[in-house]
Amino acid sequence: MEEKKPLRHLIEIRDLTVAEIDSLIALAGDIIARPDDFADTCKRKKLATLFYEPSTRTRLSFEAAMLELGGQILGFASQDSSSASKGESVADTIRVVEGYADIIAMRHPKEGAPVLAAQYASVPMINAGDGGHNHPTQTLTDLTTIQREFGTLEGLTIGLCGDLKFGRTVHSLIAAMVRYPGTHFVLISPQELRPPVYILDSLARETNCKCTESRSLDAVIDSLDVLYMTRVQRERFFNEADYVRLKDSFILDTDKMRGAKQDMIVMHPLPRVNEISVAVDKDYRSRYFEQAKYGKYIRMALILELLGLRQ
């Protein structure tokens, strides 16, 4: 039997096989069921959160995860409070920090910064977001939410709504879900914000999955198992008139929810601005706040796995 190489870093979601993702989600499930059993698993271990740009939500999720495993945390929350503002390179920072921490989560505005960091790090590196590029723990969070809600990641109809052109969470969710047979992607966006051609091409080549496009959420909402909302930003449009004309078609409100299946779930990577009206929060099908909670549990599972502390 071939010896399995231990996973050391998580830079992009494709670093994980489907089996590894399934096993992480199962571990997150064990943690949810028996949190006390994991309360000391990372005792005397330290997580460094190196955030070269602020992202309070993601940073708190990582730190809460480590604290719940009995570990400790250190790091910085923005570039101003780090030596990087004095011009220190990522490569140098990593070589210093790895002497203080057992595992590193890094967020950086430049694309590929975690790839570079992983070349120098002798401890596991987690990409906590690199510019508009990858954000694998968000994708793990999304997959965990879907799996926990439906008991499977196969054969689901996933509606992705809003800015599908620039939205990296959507790109990476597609890259992950395309590996599960029977996925039907419904891409709901204005013409201007369709997914990039390379993604549409890769979906067209896929024989396991189906993909349809729609310019209207109302027209397709009744077919969806999951509705994944993203924000349509004003600055993505060339003129104000187009934005005003289109924005309402991609805002989820209680009216549109009437057309949805009884067991559809609504997801959103948060923070939300106005793309989901606050009234929808009370709908039993909204899951975006649960999603954030799953984010903590899957990060706990990931930390255990990367540290080799999984029992």
Partner 1 sequence: MKIDEIHNGYVLDHIRAGRSMEIYRALGLDSLDCTVAIIKNVPSRKLGKKDIIKIDEDIVLDLAALGYIDPNITINVIKDGLLVEKQHLKPPAVLVNVVKCKNPRCITSTEQEIDQIFRLSHSGGKDVYRCAYCEMQAGTQ
Rounded to whole angstroms, how far apart are CA atoms 68 and 32?
A: 11
Task: Using the minimum distance from each CB to partner 1, give the nearer residue, 171 or 296.
Answer: 171
Distances (CA, A) of 110 to 51, 126, 138, 303: 12, 15, 18, 24
- Catalytic residue list contains 135: yes
Distance in Å, CB of 131 to partner 1, minimum: 5
In sequence order, the 6+-apart residues with CB closer than 8 A to the CB of 198 are none
Q: Does 133 bind partner 1 (CB under 8 A)?
A: yes
- Catalytic residue list contains 107: yes
Among 74, 91, 270, 279, binds partner 1 (CB under 8 A): 91
Find the catalytic residue in 9, 45, 108, 135.
135
Among 29, 54, 70, 112, binds partner 1 (CB under 8 A): 112
Place of tokens 């496009």: 213
Rounded to whole angstroms, how far apart are CA atoms 171 and 199?
A: 8
Q: Does 113 bind partner 1 (CB under 8 A)?
A: yes
* Sole window of 38-46, 113-121, 172-180, 261-269 interacting with partner 1 (rule: CB under 8 A): 113-121
- Quick one: which of 110, 99, 236, 238 has its CA closest to 164? 236
Q: Do you find a cis peptide bond into 271, omega within 30 degrees of 0?
A: yes
CB 48, CB 97: distance < 8 Å: yes
Q: Does 108 bind partner 1 (CB under 8 A)?
A: yes
Helix (H) or strand (E) holding 232: none
Task: Using the minimum distance from each CB to partner 1, give the nearer residue, 53 or 283.
Answer: 53
C-alpha torsion sign, points 193, 199, 204, 206 = negative
**Dihedral pair phi/psi, residue 220, rounded to 5°:** -125, -5
- Catalytic residue list contains 58: yes
Q: By CB under 8 A, what part of segment 186-225 binds partner 1?
A: 198, 201
* Sole window of 67-75, 84-92, 245-253, 255-263 interacting with partner 1 (rule: CB under 8 A): 84-92
Among 116, 126, 229, 306, binds partner 1 (CB under 8 A): 116
Find the catalytic residue in 58, 139, 141, 230.
58
The catalytic site residues sit at: 57-58, 86, 107, 135
